Amino acid sequence: MDITFKQVSYTYQANSPLATPGLRDVDLHFASGSYNAIIGQTGSGKSTLVQHLNGLLIPTAGQVIVGQQVITPLTKNKALHDLRRQVGLVFQFPESQLFEETVLKDVAFAPKNFGKTPAEATAIAQQALRLVGIGPELEAKMPFDLSGGQMRRVAIAGVLAMEPEVLVLDEPTAGLDPVGREEMMQLFARIQQERQLTVILVTHQMDDVVRYADQVVVMEQGHPLKVGSPREIFADPTWLAAHNLELPSTGQLVARLQQQGFEFTTLPLTVPELLAQLTPQLRQVPVDG
Amino acid sequence: MEPLIRLEHLTYTYNNSDVPALNDVSLTIAAGQWIAIVGHNGSGKSTLAKTLNGLIEPQQGQVYFNGVLLDEDSVWSIRRKIGVVFQSPDNQFVGATVADDVAFGMENNGVPRAEMVPRVAAALAQVRMSDYATHEPARLSGGQKQRVALAGVLAQQPEVIILDEATSMLDPQGRQDVVSLMTQLQAAGNFTIISITHDIDEAALADQVILMDDGRLIQQGPPAAIFNEGELLRQHGLTVPLSEQVRTGLVAQHVPLPDQYLSEEQLVSKLWTLHLNK
Amino acid sequence: MDKLILGRYYPGDSFVHRLDPRLKLILNILFIILIFIAQHWPSYLLLGVVVVASVWASGISLSFFLRGLRPMLVLILFTVGLQLFFTSGQHVYWQWGILSVSQEGLINAAYIAVRFLLIIFMSTLLTLTTQPLEIADGLEYLMKPLKVVKFPVNEVALMLSIALRFVPKLMDETTKIMNAQRARGVDFNNGGLIKRAKALLPLLIPLMMSSIDIASDLTTAMISRGYRDGEGRSRYRILQWRPTDTVILAASGVLTVGLIVLERFL
C-alpha cells in the first residue's frame, strides 16, 4: 500500500496559547512493500509522524494519502475505521496495552472490533500467535502471567491479527536483550516478506537500519531533513555528527582505521563489508598448499 | 584482606516460580573496582543485585558487606552505603522537583537541613544538572532523569553504586551521558561500581565481568578473558563485541593476529603494524 | 472538562502567590466560618469586597474566574432551586403540589447563591495561586497536632505529594494506552452509553496494571534509598513564614472581629 505525505503540518494544541509545532511541511513517499526506517533524536517528530499513518492524528495542514484514502484536516473520525485496520501500529512497550483475561482473547480483540465473527477472530488470533512464536499452551493464560518478552510478542500478535497491509513499528525492541532484539527484528523481516507488507520502523538502532531498511528518513524538528538509502544516509560521518546521529557500530572503527592510513572506497556498514575491504590491505600468512 | 562484598552460596526462588532465579551463587567483589554483571533478560543478574542491599532475602546463603553479615540488624546501615540507580527513569523519581528528589535519601537518614543544602547542590553539579534544580520531573528527558537519580545516590556518599540496567531505556544520547558520568566517577576513584547490563560495549569498560545465566554464575574475569569466548557469549544470549567479531573474521582470513580479545584501540594499533602500504 | 478551573494552578508571582500556603489554608477555613457567621446583607457586601480585593491582588483577571464558574453553574442552580421551591413560608407567591415559592424561599435561595459563590471564589483562588506541592506541605504542617492521636501525618503528606507527582505521568500513560487501543479499533467517542462504558475496560485495566508496576518500582526505589516511615526523617523543603504573612493574618483577625460586631448591631 503506497503512502504519500503532501505538505503535511501538524500543530499540537492548535489555536491555543500552548500551540507547539509537531510537524512542518512534510513531503514523503513510502512505496508499497518497502521497508522504511525513520531516525532522528528524541523529540524530532518521529512519533508524531507515524501517528498520522492511521489517523490517530489528523494533519492541521496538507494531506496524507494511504492507499485510496485521503486524510485532510477536515477528515472525520468515523471515516478512519477502515484505515485503522489496514495500518497496524505497534507502539513502544506495546505490552502495556494488554487487558483481556486470556492471551487468545487479547489477540482476538482487534479482529472482533473490525467486524470478524468470534470464530473467525479466534482463528486469526491463533494464526497470529503462531507467527510470533507463542504456542497453544499459552493461549489460555493471563497475559500478565507471561514473561516480559512473551508479553511483547502477544501484543505484537494483537496488531498482526488485524491483518494490516502497513506495519508501523515504534522502537519495537526497546528494553529487549541482544538476542531478543535480533529475534524480533528477524520476525518482522520474515512477516514483511511473507505478507508483502509496507513497514515503517522508528528506531535508534543504526545497525538495524543498515540491515533491514530500503529507505531512511532523517527527522529533525518536525521536518524530514534527508531521505535516501542507508548507504546515502551514512555516507557522510561529519554530517551525521553535526545532527547528533550515530553511525552503525562499524562506523567508529572505520574512522579509527582511516586515521591510521587505511583506505575505504565506500563506507563499510556491516562486518562482512568491513572485512572484505580490510583484508586486501593487510599482510596475510601464506597458507600451505 | 576481606573483600568489600562477599556472596556465599546464594539461592533464591521467586514466589510465583519453580525455577530458582539464583542458584548457588558465590563471588567476591574488591573495593574500587568497576564490575559488570552481564546476562540476557531473566538470567538472574538483577535478582543478584537486589540481594546486595537486602531488597531480596535469599532462601539460602549469606551476603557480607565489609565483613559484616547482612541481616535484619545491619541491613539499614548497609543500604546507606549502597546506592542504586534503577531501570525506569520515571518510577524511581520520588521528589516533586529535582532538588527534592536528590534530597530524599538524606531526609530518610535524618541528615540536618544545613548539611543537605550544600550536598544537594554538589551532587547536582557532579551530574551537570544544577540548572534544573527547581524543575519538575515531567519536563526532563530520560537521560536527565537518570542523572538526577545518580545525583540522589551521590548525595548519600555511598561506597558502592549499583546501576541496575540504568541505561537500557534511554536513547543513545542519554545512554552516552550516563556512561560518560560513570567513567568519570570511576576515574575519581572513590566508588565501587556494579553495572548490571546486557550491553556488551558498556561491559567492556569494566575491570571485571561476571557472566550469569539460569541463575548461575557462568564465568567471572577481566573483559579480555570473557570476550575471548565469542561462542560462550552467544550461547548465553549476548552479542560479541565488534572488535572481537572483526578479529576472528581476520584470523579466518589468515591475518596474523594474537589469539585473544583486543579492544578496538588495541586492534587498530595491531592492524597498523600489518598494513601493506605503510 | 478543560474549562473547570477549581483545583488548577495558575503560574504567577503575585502578592497572593507568594503568601505562605499555611496562611492561605487557614484563611480559607476562616473565610468559610465567616460566611456562616454572616446573616445580613451588609456582612455579605463586606466579604464580597474582600473576595474582589483578593482576586485583584492575585493578578488573575476576574473574567477568568467567571468563565471558570460556568461548569459549576449547574450545581449552584440545583442548590438554589432546592431552597427556592422547598422552603415553606408565609407569603406564598406560587404553589404547585409540594413545590412553592415563598418570600422566605426567595431570600434563602439568594443567601445560598451568594454563600456558594463567595466560597467557590475563595477556594479557587487558593488552588490557582498555590502549587499542589505547597498545599501538601501546608496541610502536613497544619495537621501536626493530629500526631498526638497517632495520625500518620508525615506518611499522609508524603503520599499526597507522590500522588501529585505522578499525575502527569499517569496522564501520559492514559493517552498512550488510548492511542494503542484506538489503533486496535476501539472507538471511545461514539456509540451508546453501554458501548462507551465497555470501551473503557481496555483503557482502565492496562492503566491499573501500569499503576501497580509504578507502585512496585517506586517502593523498591524508596526502600533502597533508606525510607522506613515518617519518623526520624529530616526535611529539605521548608516553609518560610514572612512578616507579610503575619500582617495579613492580623488583618484577617480584625476583619473577623469587625464582622462579629457588625452582626451584633444589625
- Output the domain CATH number for residue A47: 3.40.50.300
Q: Strands across the sheet with A87-90, in order?
A: A87-90, A166-170, A198-202, A35-39, A215-220, A223-228
Residue A234 shares a structural domain with residue A275: no
The pLDDT value given to residue B18: 85
Q: How many CB pairs under 8 A join A and B?
A: 104
pLDDT in tens, chain B (278 residues): 789 999 999 999 998 888 999 999 999 999 999 999 999 988 999 999 999 999 999 999 999 999 999 999 999 999 999 999 999 999 999 888 899 999 999 999 999 999 999 999 999 999 999 999 988 887 899 999 999 999 999 999 999 999 999 999 898 889 999 999 999 988 887 899 999 998 888 998 899 999 999 999 999 999 988 988 888 888 898 888 899 999 999 999 999 999 888 888 899 999 999 988 65
| Cβ-nearest to A253 among B237, B246, B253 | B246
From residue A97, alpha-carbon distances to A57, A144, A155, C202, C206 in Å are: 19, 11, 7, 8, 6
Subunit contact C184:A56, Cβ cutoff 8 A? no
User: Considering the domain boundaries, does residue C137 fall inside one?
Assistant: no
Q: Are A138 and A102 in contact (CB under 8 A)?
A: no
User: Considering the domain boundaries, does residue A107 fall inside one?
Assistant: no
Residue A28 shares a structural domain with residue A79: yes
User: Considering the domain boundaries, does residue A152 fall inside one?
Assistant: no
pLDDT in tens, chain A (289 residues): 899 999 999 998 776 656 788 999 999 999 999 999 999 998 899 999 999 999 999 999 999 999 999 999 999 888 888 899 999 999 999 999 999 999 999 999 999 999 999 999 999 999 999 999 999 999 999 999 998 899 999 999 999 999 999 999 999 999 888 888 999 999 999 999 999 999 999 999 999 999 999 999 999 999 999 999 999 999 888 899 899 898 898 988 998 899 888 999 888 989 999 999 999 999 888 765 4
Residue C204 shares a structural domain with residue C90: no
User: Considering the domain boundaries, does residue A241 fall inside one?
Assistant: yes
Residue C2 shares a structural domain with residue C110: yes
Residues 6+ apart with CB under 8 A from B268: A253, A256, A257, A260
Q: Are C27 and C54 in contact (CB under 8 A)?
A: no
Residue C249 shares a structural domain with residue C231: no
Residue A258 shares a structural domain with residue A241: no
Residue C98 shares a structural domain with residue C122: yes
List, as one string, the DSSP characters of chain B: ---SEEEEEEEE--TT-SS-SEEEEEEEE-TT-EEEEE--TTSSHHHHHHHHTTSS--SEEEEEETTEE-STTTHHHHHHHEEEE-S-SSTT--SSSHHHHHHHHHHHTT--HHHHHHHHHHHHHHTT-GGGTT--GGGS-HHHHHHHHHHHHHHT--SEEEEESTTTTS-HHHHHHHHHHHHHHHHHT--EEEEEES-HHHHTTSSEEEEEETTEEEEEE-HHHHHT-HHHHHHTT-PPPHHHHHHHHHHHTT----SS---HHHHHHHHHHTBTT-
Residue C3 shares a structural domain with residue C116: yes
Counted domains in chain C: 2
Residue A200 shares a structural domain with residue A260: no
Nearest 10 degrees: Cα torsion C223, C224, C225, C229: 20
User: Which pTM was predicted?
Assistant: 0.86
Question: Shortest Cα distance from A165 to chain B (angstroms)?
Answer: 29
Counted domains in chain A: 2
> Is C190 part of the contact surface with chain A (CB cutoff 8 Å)?
yes
Full domain range(s) for residue C66 = 1-130+241-266
- Angle of the A249-259 helix axis to the B264-273 helix axis, nearest 10: 40
Residue C223 shares a structural domain with residue C249: no
Question: Shortest Cα distance from A62 to chain B (angstroms)?
Answer: 30
Residue C63 shares a structural domain with residue C106: yes
Residue A264 shares a structural domain with residue A188: no
The pLDDT value given to residue A279: 92
Residue A172 shares a structural domain with residue A259: no
> Is A148 part of the contact surface with chain C (CB cutoff 8 Å)?
no
Cα end-to-end distance, chain A, whole Å: 56
User: Considering the domain boundaries, does residue C140 fall inside one?
Assistant: no
Residue A207 shares a structural domain with residue A272: no
- At A113, is the secondary structure helix, strand, or coil? helix
- 10-residue mean pLDDT profile of chain C (266 residues): values are 61 88 94 90 91 91 79 82 78 77 83 88 88 84 88 85 83 91 87 80 93 92 88 84 93 92 86
| Cβ-nearest to C226 among B108, B120, B138 | B108
Q: How far is CA C174 from the centre of its chain?
A: 24
User: Considering the domain boundaries, does residue A232 fall inside one?
Assistant: yes
Subunit contact C214:B90, Cβ cutoff 8 A? yes
User: Considering the domain boundaries, does residue C108 fall inside one?
Assistant: yes
The pLDDT value given to residue C24: 94
Residue C71 shares a structural domain with residue C179: no
The pLDDT value given to residue A289: 44
Residue C245 shares a structural domain with residue C231: no
The pLDDT value given to residue C1: 37
Q: Are A248 and A39 in contact (CB under 8 A)?
A: no
Residue C121 shares a structural domain with residue C8: yes
From residue C160, alpha-carbon distances to A107, B136, C153 in Å are: 38, 16, 11
Q: Strands across the sheet with B5-12, in order?
A: B22-29, B5-12, B60-65, B68-69
Question: Shortest Cα distance from A249 to chain B (angstroms)?
Answer: 7
The pLDDT value given to residue A98: 95
Closest-CA residue to C125 (of C17, C47, C48): C17
**Cα gap A99→B100, rounded to integer Å:** 35
Subunit contact B80:C226, Cβ cutoff 8 A? yes
The pLDDT value given to residue C248: 93
**C179 to chain A: closest CA residue:** A56
At A221-230, the pLDDT tens digits run: 999 999 999 9
User: Considering the domain boundaries, does residue C142 fall inside one?
Assistant: no
Residue C84 shares a structural domain with residue C162: no
User: Considering the domain boundaries, does residue C216 fall inside one?
Assistant: yes
User: Considering the domain boundaries, does residue C135 fall inside one?
Assistant: no
> Is C164 part of the contact surface with chain B (CB cutoff 8 Å)?
yes
User: Considering the domain boundaries, does residue A8 fall inside one?
Assistant: yes
Residue A89 shares a structural domain with residue A174: yes
CB atoms within 10 A of CB A77: 13
The pLDDT value given to residue A18: 61
Residue A213 shares a structural domain with residue A276: no
Residue A169 shares a structural domain with residue A275: no
From residue C27, alpha-carbon distances to A251, B103, C34, C138 in Å are: 65, 31, 10, 12
Backbone angles phi, psi at B271, to 5 degrees: -65, -35
Residue A254 shares a structural domain with residue A185: no
DSSP assignment letter at A140: T
Which residues of chain C are within 8 Å of residue B138 when distances are taken between CB atoms? 168-169
User: Considering the domain boundaries, does residue A123 fall inside one?
Assistant: no
Residue C46 shares a structural domain with residue C82: yes
> Is A195 part of the contact surface with chain C (CB cutoff 8 Å)?
no
Q: How far is CA B135 from the centre of its chain?
A: 27
Q: Strands across the sheet with A20-30, in order?
A: A20-30, A3-12, A61-66, A69-71
Question: Shortest Cα distance from A167 to chain C (angstroms)?
Answer: 12
Q: Where are the beta strands (DSSP E) in C116-260?
A: none
Per this entry, what is the length of chain C? 266
Q: Return the sign of the alpha-carbon dihedral for residues A209, A210, A211, A213.
A: positive
Cα end-to-end distance, chain C, whole Å: 42
> Is C224 part of the contact surface with chain B (CB cutoff 8 Å)?
yes
Full domain range(s) for residue A242 = 3-93+165-246
User: Considering the domain boundaries, does residue A160 fall inside one?
Assistant: no
